[in-house]
Amino acid sequence: MTSLAHQVAVLDANDPLREFRDQFQLRDGLIYLDGNSLGALPKATMAAMQDAVGEQWGEGLITSWLGADWVNSPRRIGDKIAALIGANPGEVIAADSTSVNIFKALGAALSLQSGRSVILTEEGNFPTDHYMMQGLERLSGGGVRSLAVPAGDVLGRLEDDVAVLLLTQVHYKTGAMRDMAAVNAAAHKHGVLVIWDLSHSTGAIEVDLNGSGADFAIGCGYKFLNGGPGAPAYMYVAQRHQHADAVLAGWFGHARPFAFEEQYDAASGVERFLCGTPPVLGMVALEAGVDLITQADMRDVRAKSVKLAELLIAQMQPLCTQYGFELVSPQNRKESGSHVSFAHPNAYAIAQALKTRDVIGDFRAPDVLRLGLTPLYLRYADIVEAVHRLSEICVTRSWDRPEFHAMSAVT
Ligand SMILES: *Cc1c(COP(=O)(O)O)cnc(C)c1O
């Protein structure tokens, strides 16, 4: 064995999370570096879906709202997610999509901030975050102004007209991570509320919403939580803000949904931020994913993610020198989440060529090859092998075939 192979074998043998990989359906030979975009399938999800469809729906029919406790799934799963992100039971619901929850959180935060009209974010934030802000601005007829400033200028723009700051903690493209406690403190000093987009945080890094004084947060169910394609998202509302207005005031957020009253009367707890009927089948898959990751210690997850990233960056060094890859993620792992991105002028074609070698990462426009590190099912040996396959693609220039340059609708 080479000394690298030996080192990596030791790391894998001593990995406290090594047993988790077998809980996922993953084909032999496949190296999946895109679990930050769509998490892998937990084996338990298959059985849970079979039961939900065949038994709960097929046999139980409508009685399963109570019999299988479908009705409480948003709160039940929310409480489990709360444990991963430093929130208390009763502060998180699983519901809707991340995009919709961004809108709900913006509306709720604005309702607490009379006299302030600016909703602020950083340039380069995930597009849906910008779009939701811009839509709210249009809806408000000029009452609310959506503003994006360069990332480095955000804290300096926290003035008295700012109602809400919306930031993604771990940047979707670069992986750069914001210091949540520092941002919350700076914002609160100016009376600004903060909404955190945790799409690339939850299940990947340690998050302490309450410890850092967070106000609102939202995030994805299908990334590091392994909830399945299009899984329901989640929304956190700190206890002290739960009297805020639920702008998408649906009947599931009513204090008494089954009284069928025509006058809206908001539920008192976090349930008021529910809109309509929960997507039960999606909730079942989400819960299976959440149940699996809550068995892991997030400190182990983070520690392994850091080590995987360090190994990846070290292995990529020769390719950076010889083939023009450029690390765009922070060098310092303390400032970085759980994916590592490299810029390359041919990143798109390279990502496509990699797929044919059974290494799945992804491309983010205009020139980023993004490699997601999911500690529950990646091995250190996978990182070494992935870079080995990538270097073969570079040596042979096999990426430079016409079929790898054709842009597809989903990247
Ligand atoms: C993935 C992601 C989203 C996705 O939102 P959806 O409504 O689920 O499509 C939102 N924000 C960030 C930062 C993301 O990374």
In the numeric block, which tokens belong to residue 169?
């903690």
* CA-based nearest residue to 52, from 230, 286, 257, 293: 286
* CA-based nearest residue to 279, from 74, 38, 75: 74
Q: Tell me, yes or no, if 307 is annotated catalytic.
A: no
Q: Which of 99, 234, 339 to mutate to test the pocket of ligand 1 (most atoms within 8 A of CB)?
A: 99
pLDDT of residue 40: 98
Q: Any bridge partners for residue 168, and if so which? A: 197
Give me the torsion for CA of 200, 202, 206, 207, rounded to 10°.
100
Catalytic pick among 21, 173, 223, 304: 223
CA angle 72, 75, 79 (to 5 degrees): 135
Q: Is the CB of 98 under 6 A from ligand 1?
A: yes
Q: Tell me, yes or no, if 12 is annotated catalytic.
A: no
Residue nearest (by alpha carbon) to ligand 1 atom 5: 98
Res 290 pLDDT > 70: yes
In the numeric block, which tokens belong to residue 168?
């993604």
Number of neighbours of residue 39 by Cβ within 10 angstroms: 29
pLDDT in tens, 325-377: 999 999 999 999 999 999 999 999 999 999 999 999 999 999 999 999 999 99
Average pLDDT over residues 272-288: 98
CA distances from 251 to 93, 207, 262, 271, 366 (A): 15, 31, 10, 10, 42
Average pLDDT over residues 125-150: 97
* Residue 109: band (very low, low, confident or very high) from pLDDT cuts 50, 70, 90: very high
Do the beta carbons of residue 300 and residue 16 sit within 8 Å?
yes
Average pLDDT over residues 50-70: 98
